[in-house]
Amino acid sequence: MIVGDPRDIPVSSCTNCGTILDAATSVGDHGIPSEGDVTICIKCGHIMAFDSDLALRDLTGEEIVEFAGDPRIIAIQKARVELEKKA
């Protein structure tokens, strides 16, 4: 982790595809992730959450229900697919 940039997070792997992830961008009110915040793997689109030490973990069943259909997640997934098409 590079100290000083609030988007940086500890290096962690996507729990689905194994892609190394070391930064995050916020679509919410704050730029620094905290425990329970949700993120999406830029490579495969897998939805995960940050645990207490900001490592990535799979969503709980309750979180899956909570975030199903969230318009922010849908928008990010659509944008990610469009970028893949252009690559």
Q: Where are the domains of the chain?
A: 8-86
In the chain, which ranges are E strands? 8-13, 20-23, 38-40, 47-50, 56-58
Q: Which residues pair with 23 in a beta bridge?
A: 8
Q: What's the confidence (pLDDT) of residue 50? A: 92
Coil, strand or helix at 83: helix
* Global confidence as pTM: 0.81
What's the pLDDT tens digit per position in 2-60? 344 555 678 999 999 999 998 887 766 667 788 898 999 988 999 999 999 989 999 99
- Whole-number Cα distances in Å, 51 to 23, 39, 59: 15, 11, 10
